[in-house]
Structure 1
Amino acid sequence: MGVMDHHTEDHDRGLAFDLATLGRRRLLTLMGGAGLAALTGCGTDHTGHNMSASTTTTAGTVAQSQGAAAASDCGTETPQETGGPYPADGTNGPNVLTESGIVRSDIRSSFGSSTTTAKGVALTVELTIVDTAQSCAAIPGTAVYLWHCDINGNYSMYGKGIENENYLRGVQESDPQGKVKFTTIFPAAYSGRWPHIHFEIYPSLSEATKAGEPLKTTQLALPKDVCTTVYGTEGYSQSVRNLAQTSLERDNVFGDGYETQLATVSGDVTAGYAATLAVRV
């Protein structure tokens, strides 16, 4: 099977990006702010006493300073990235999110009219969704839609001969620790891109499964040493050449900085690999 003709995955950093980010931050504030207000109360300090007007400014300044320090300690927000040309979320052709069966942790096989299983080295992906505005507190109840290419560099629902497949796509709801976990296969390296995994974060499972507006669309990068090892195994021969022709620094998505998107990966080709990443929203 030939590799798909992948389009350049440009990403906007202008006004549209800023407005989208403001919208996501507002929604997160509404999600988390109500609980925070209930805990702190209005116009009271941590002892429960009412604050006088003369101390409001000072207390507010201290709170802002502490909040800034907490945000700094928490780390940089994971950047918004393109969903690419093959999202299957209704924005570019097919929409898998509204199909029964999309909510699943094991995404190796197609569901519905096909049960084809994607071949490749086993990989689990665990994402922890945290709120930078709340000192990286875990965000439970969000939904993550995750997808990536197969061993040949092709995407289900788009690639020639696999238009009716929907493997390597799935949705999970974050648990009380803000975690989601997917069982999948290690994606190929296709021409022009560093090995990566796409995902979208939605405010709830219901929003995800009706293809609502995501809080964030971004990508996970895979480490070079692990990619090199995996691509030395059967089925990944095309990836060896493609990996050698690019780098994280030259990638059109990760080239402007990948520190918050580079997964930590452990394991081996026999037992499979486990990738973990904290996603800061």
Structure 2
Amino acid sequence: MKTIDRKGFLKTLGLAGVTAVAAPLLIHCGSDDDVINSSSSSSGSSSGSGSSATGCSVTNSETEGPFPTKSPSTLVQTNIVSDRTGVPFTIAITVQNVNASCANLQGAIVDIWHCDKEGNYSEYGGTSMQSTNYTSVHFLRGRQTTDANGKVNFTSIFPGWYSGRATHIHVHIYNTAGQSLLVTQIAFPEGTDSAVVQVGASTGYKGMSGYTYNANDNVFSDGTFNEMSSISGSVSGGFALTHTIKVSA
């Protein structure tokens, strides 16, 4: 997937990924490297390390590209696996409102998407940016609405990685009226016993040769303190991710 200069291309887009409203960007915007807010560096050393940011401030905004979901309203589902295979993975996201002292936010619409174990995204492909053509399928994408506890849950597979990026999940959050509140990304803890390393050695995954760590990632290199998830579990039993995202609603 490393072909055109994704970094340079995305930087020409400025804040487009952040100001997007209910209809996601349809432009093939290149590499995920446009970080809006800076933060201090933090990465876990084990599969269960990493935590949500302390305090009550909005989670960093990030680019929506390069492969945002084209019609998220058609993918209201908790199980986003489709035909993909990989290490079992559950995702639990809590959304909080900084305008209400970070109380849990009910009724927020949460879209997520991530690549498969080979680093490919659905809905795109057949181009220099991603050679494998998955334009007609919609795996590893889903939408849910937060419950009374501000929470959504998804069943997936552990994401793979691709050149220039650490393991990550894309998230776009809207209010109940469909207005965009935040586009961000979820970072994964790293280290010798981390889930990323354990999964990398699993069948079908790429391993860690050529992996881009958070410190050198196009998006996360300026810090991950409010984008870092917590992950627990094992390859045999599957992993579970928990993360809190704070928005201004």
Structure 1 and Structure 2 fold alike (TM over 0.5): yes
| Higher Rg of the two aligned structures | 1
Match of residue 84 from structure 1: 65
**1:13/1:133 CA distance change after superposition, 3 Å:** farther
Aligned match of 1:174: 146
Deviations 1:187-212 (A, max 9, x none): 112110010000100112x62xxxxx
The percent of aligned pairs where both chains have the same amino acid is 36
| Matched letter for residue 114 of structure 2 | H
> Counterpart in 2 of 1:220?
186
**Partners in 1 of 2:180 and 2:11 — Cα distance?**
16
Is structure 2 residue 71 aligned with structure 1 residue 96?
yes
Amino acid at match of 2:208: V
Partners of 2:73 and 2:143 within 8 A in 1 = no
- Who is 2:241 aligned against? 275
User: How many positions carry a matched residue from both structures?
Assistant: 204
User: What CA distance in whole angstroms lies between the structure 2 residues aligned with 1:232 and 1:73?
Assistant: 33
Select the residue among 189, 208, 211 that pairs with 1:240: 208
CA contact (8 A) 1:190 1:242 kept: no
- Tell me how far apart the structure 1 counterparts of residues 54 and 199 of structure 2 sit (CA, whole Å): 34
Paired with 1:242 and 1:196, the residues of 2 have a C-alpha distance of 16
CA spacing shift, 1:187–1:85, aligned 2, 3 Å: same
Deviation digits for residues 147-195 of structure 1 (CA, Å, limit 9, x no counterpart): 0000110000103232111010000000000000110011112110010
Contact kept, 8 Å, 1:138 with 1:176, in 2: the verdict is yes
SS of 1:190's equivalent in the other structure is coil
What are the ranges of 5 or more consecutive residues in structure 1 without an aligned counterpart?
24-71, 89-94, 110-116, 208-212
TM-score for both structures, normalised by structure 2: 0.75
Equivalents in 2 of 1:229, 1:81: separation in Å? 27
Residue 136 (str. 1) matches residue 136 (str. 2): no
Aligned residue identity for 2:71: V
Q: CA RMSD in A?
A: 2.6
1:106 maps to which of 75, 79, 94: 79
Please say if 1:192 is aligned against 2:161.
no
What TM-score, normalized to structure 1?
Answer: 0.66
Structure-2 change in CA distance of 1:73 and 1:197 (3 Å): closer
Which structure has more helix as a fraction of its residues? 1
Q: Secondary structure at the match of 1:241?
A: coil
Matches within 5 A, 1:1-281: 3=1, 5=3, 7-8=6-7, 10=10, 16=15, 20=19, 74-88=55-69, 95-99=70-74, 102-109=75-82, 117-159=83-125, 160-204=132-176, 207=178, 213-224=179-190, 225-236=194-205, 238-243=206-211, 246-281=212-247
Deviations along 1:85-130, whole A, 9 cap, x unmatched?
1102xxxxxx22243xx11100001xxxxxxx11110111111000
Deviation at 1:278, TM superposition (A): 0.7
Q: Structure 2: where are the runs of 5+ without partners?
A: 22-52, 126-131
Instruction: Give distance in 2, aligned partners of 1:133 and 1:13.
Output: 29
**Cα shift readout 1:200-253 (whole Å, capped 9, x = no counterpart):** 00112x62xxxxx421000001111110011111001x242132xx22111111
Structure having greater relative contact order (Cα 8 Å, sep ≥ 6): 2
2-structure distance, mates of 1:239, 1:198: 22
Determine if contact 2:2/2:163 at 8 Å carries over to the other structure: no
What is the distance in 2 between the residues matched to 1:73 and 1:263? 13
